[in-house]
Chains A and B, each alone.
Chain A
Amino acid sequence: KQEVTQIPAALSVPEGENLVLNCSFTDSAIYNLQWFRQDPGKGLTSLLLIQSSQREQTSGRLNASLDKSSGRSTLYIAASQPGDSATYLCAVKGGAGSYQLTFGKGTKLSVIP
């Protein structure tokens, strides 16, 4: 069974700081990895999708990397803002014989003004 772990579970940083969120997965036979953002009481918003053949994806201040062989991904947020405060979820597609999306439990980010 594919397992996804996100560390840390919660993170508090001052505004303007650059930060890294970590995601690890147990089976490297994945199709892709996706990072989502979830605001309290809301649905999930897709941030970045990295295919298994790619090493990274960028969107604005966000950069996600993928090291499939080591089962790791990082989400880098540059120049953090209070509006970045949310829970960030990592999800992998595939692994352990599954075609499905397996989620981590998320990192709750608070950016302090």
Chain B
Amino acid sequence: DAGITQSPRHKVTETGTPVTLRCHQTENHRYMYWYRQDPGHGLRLIHYSYGVKDTDKGEVSDGYSVSRSKTEDFLLTLESATSSQTSVYFCAISESDTGDTQYFGPGTRLTVL
């Protein structure tokens, strides 16, 4: 299995609270991604990174920000969590943007009350 860890694995928070999820990889892959998975919607891309300090928006980026200060770490921040952000969040990595397999982390289950 690709060396990807996510923390925390489970979190319950209240509306309006800031939340940061961490993704850590040991594979030295250039590309990192954050997805959310919701019933009826499947997996949707939130943000991705193509290098240190290089990030871009995905399909559902509103309400989320990201940062990547080191190759191995990609942070997802919910500045002010809302109930609609209750979801399972997955981090993924890949060596290239077009030709390679994406490997996924174990996920973080976030509940916003």
Contact across chains for B42 and A44 when beta carbons are under 8 A apart: no
CB of A32 within 8 Å of the partner chain: yes
**A29 nearest CB across to chain B (Å):** 12
User: Are A43 and B102 neighbours in the complex by a CB distance under 8 Å?
Assistant: no
Count A-B contacts at CB 8 Å: 49
Q: Judging by beta carbons under 8 Å apart, are A46 and B101 in contact?
A: yes
Q: Taking the nearest CB of chain A, how far is it from the CB of B32, in angstroms? A: 13
Contact B42 A42 (CB under 8 A): no
Residues of chain B within 8 A (CB-CB) of A103 are 42-44
Q: Nearest Cβ distance between residue A7 and chain B, in whole angstroms?
A: 14
Given A34-B101, A49-B101, A100-B58, residue A43 in contact with residue B90 (CB < 8 A): yes
* Chain A residues in 8 Å Cβ range of B106: 42-43
CB contacts (< 8 Å) of A43 on chain B: these are 90, 104-107
Tell me the A residues contacting B by CB distance below 8 Å. 31-32, 34, 36, 42-46, 49, 51, 89, 91, 93-94, 99-101, 103-106
Query: Inside 8 A of A49's CB, which chain B residues have their CB?
Result: 100-101
Within the complex, which residue of A94, A100, A104 is in contact with B42, where a contact is CB–CB below 8 Å? A104
Q: Give the contacts of B2-58 with A (CB-CB under 8 A).
A: 33, 40-45, 48, 58
Residues of B near A42 (CB, < 8 A) are 106-107
Question: Does B98 make an interface contact (CB < 8 A)?
Answer: yes
Q: Which residue of A lies closest to B96 (CB)?
A: A31
Give the interface centre of A43, A49, A51, A101 by most chain B CB atoms within 10 Å.
Answer: A43
Interface residues of B in 50-69 (CB under 8 A from A): 58-59
B98 touches A94 (CB 8 A): yes
- For A34, list chain B residues within 8 Å (CB): 101-102
Contact A89–B48 (Cβ < 8 Å) = no
**Can you give 14 A-B contacts (C-beta < 8 A)?**
A32-B98, A42-B107, A43-B90, A43-B106, A43-B107, A44-B104, A46-B103, A89-B43, A91-B43, A91-B102, A94-B98, A99-B98, A100-B48, A103-B44
